[in-house]
Amino acid sequence: MADMGRAVVATALGGPEVLRLVEAEVTPPGPGEVQVRVHAAGVNPWDWKSYAPGSGGRPPVRLGLEVAGVVQAVGTGVRWYSPGDEVVAWPVTGGYADVVTAPQRVVVRRPDGLDVVRAAGLLGAGVTAVHAVDATGVDDEDVVLVHGASGGVGRMVVQLAVLRGARVIATASPASHDCLRRFGAEPVTYGPGLLDRVRDLEPALGRVTVAIDAVGTREALDTSVALVRDRRRVATLVALERAAGLGVLALGHGAGADPGHDVREAARSQLTTLAADGSVEVLVTGTYPLEQAAAAHVRSRDGHTGGKLVLVTR
């Protein structure tokens, strides 16, 4: 008889009301695969976008891209992991589950200083942020403007840029300003007049030399190209369709974007080390049991979580 476990699936296209916790068969890992007993799974916007009307998803849709847990079995050819190893994995398929199987290349060991809940919320946003600061060449001579700094990717970009010695101006709503100051950034409110507000900061901080857009609004890119002389140091992670016309970097997995495979592959170990020693913070503002995935998605879609949401299985 096959082993069984629980998994969250979208049974139809729609909103969080279509999510169900169902029994799912646990299959043995194949060659080069690692089977992970999931203890926590990060919630990402792509999770609920994958079953939204018009998404192209084909129900039932398994959800969950990033997990933390313990290796419980390995397939042939796996050299780096053994049962009992504490690990983090991203990207996976179907991480909202008791057990998930993934290629060993997407798995990294979880250091002792990084707890399982924060680990589950680290890699999805963190790997994208590493790509952004690497692609724009952020260093200690830069002044970096980060749009969407209160989101998961934006918060990571801010922290990584500060770690590199850069001065950072971070756009966000006033409710997030204290948090961004704690990370070492100078916050500024987005909305009409943003360009003038950023220019008012330049005499004290220096001219903006890099801009990273993690929100995708017209305001973000228009402000960025007005401020940064070298458009090769302006990057968007969202407004990919406008990037080519403006001559700025498009980063990610959309048409014409740089996927940053090598940078992103190398980022996993870097990020777990930084999070374990406290150099970067994973701000978790809500945890939910697996059976309350729908409630987590309702909150995530609201867009004002203030931090990472994580599902826990134990």
pLDDT of residue 306: 85
Token couple for 96: 């909202």
Contacts of range 291-297, beta carbons closer than 8 Å, 24 or more positions apart: 291/21, 293/8, 293/16, 293/19, 293/21, 293/43, 293/63, 293/96, 294/16, 294/17, 294/19, 295/16, 296/43, 297/15, 297/16, 297/19, 297/43, 297/47, 297/48
Q: How far apart are CA 136 and CA 129, in angstroms?
A: 11
pLDDT band at 119 (very low <50, low <70, confident <90, very high): very high
Q: Looking at the predicted structure, is the pLDDT value of residue 3 above 90?
A: no
- In the predicted model, what is the mean pLDDT of residues 286-300? 97
Instruction: Kindly indicate the confidence band of residue 2, based on its pLDDT and cuts at 50, 70 and 90.
Output: low
Over range 268-275, report the average pLDDT. Answer: 98
Q: What is the pLDDT of residues 177-208, one digit of tens each?
A: 999 999 999 999 999 999 999 999 999 999 99
User: What pLDDT, in 10s, does the model give residues 19-63?
Assistant: 999 999 998 999 999 999 999 999 999 999 999 999 999 999 999
pLDDT in tens, 125-166: 999 999 999 999 999 999 999 999 999 999 999 999 999 999
Q: ω before 16 within 30° of 0 (cis)?
A: no
